[in-house]
Amino acid sequence: MASLLDEACDFLECCRAEGGRALVHCVAGRSRSAAVVTAYVMRCKRCSLAEAFALVKERRPSVSPNEGFWRQLEGEERRLFGDCIGPLAGSQPAAPRVAGADPRGTGQLHNEVAE
């Protein structure tokens, strides 16, 4: 997934730089898309995994990356910053499973995150 994260984040940054928008979605809109957006937030905001995930979760409460994606996000954090840098370094912030999707949760996450 690391190479796909690079490609997705580059695409999102290109959209932002050109003043555009992008919708990031997967089958359920909870795991894969959440991982991509969390990785993008870590890169563009230069923030920890915990901080990036908190921001994404605030905008779309139903997100819950699966364990495999979470491990890859931890790897991405180490790759970007050399180690886990957040206040919850070495541990996963709470990512409870939330029943049902939040249809209002997509909002304008990309624009608000990138600014």
> CA 84 → CA 37, 61, 78, 102, distances in Å?
18, 23, 6, 30
For 82: left if phi > 0, alpha if psi spans -120 to 50, otherwise beta; the answer is left
**Distance in angstroms (rounded) separating the CA atoms of residues 14 and 88:** 30
Q: Where are the domains of the chain?
A: 2-93+101-114
63-90: buried (b, 16+ CB within 10 Å) or exposed (e) per residue? bbbeeebbebbbebbeebeeebbbeeee
Active site residues: 26
Tens-level pLDDT at each residue, the chain (115 residues): 677 888 998 999 999 999 999 999 888 888 999 999 999 999 999 999 999 999 999 999 999 999 999 999 999 999 999 876 554 444 444 443 333 333 334 333 433 444 4
CATH number for the region 2-93+101-114 comes to: 3.90.190.10
| pTM (two decimals) | 0.69
